[in-house]
Amino acid sequence: MLAQISEFAVNHPFLVIAFAVLLGLTFFNEMKIATQRFASLTPAAAVQLMNNDDVVVLDVREPSETVGGKIAKAIQIPASGLSKRVGELEKHKNKTLLVYCKSGARSGIACKELGKQGFEKVYSLNGGIMAWQDAHLPINKK
């Protein structure tokens, strides 16, 4: 069997290289997920957390993106300015933070930044406000 694998590798080097690259990328992604200091929550899990815990909701979208509304009582600090304005969240350091953006990408970056700043109970809303709306959950338009 080892001879057949060697023969295949010699006859199909591009396939072997592509397989090795995909395997490496998969491993890298899994390690990245395993070492992140925050968890991602579905909208349903986020609602459950909000109902059972003292949660501070943080909207990291840009002001122009919030025209359609936001989750009730959310504090809005754009991800682009979070490192400069993290002091505004110091009083909430011992509380649970639920961070969201439009689709979930920027909230992950914001959660990493908050983790570096010493926030321990940080969650990212998986899918962002789009997933929240798809789940037909309420949005505050004020």
Given the residues 101, 114, 125, 131, the one annotated as active site: 101
Backbone angles phi, psi at 133, to 5 degrees: -70, -40
Helix (H) or strand (E) holding 94: none
Whether 101 is catalytic is yes
In angstroms, the CA 108 to CA 113 distance is: 9
Cα 136 to its chain centre, rounded Å, is 20
Is residue 114 within 8 A of residue 99, CB to CB? The reply is: yes
Catalytic residues: 101
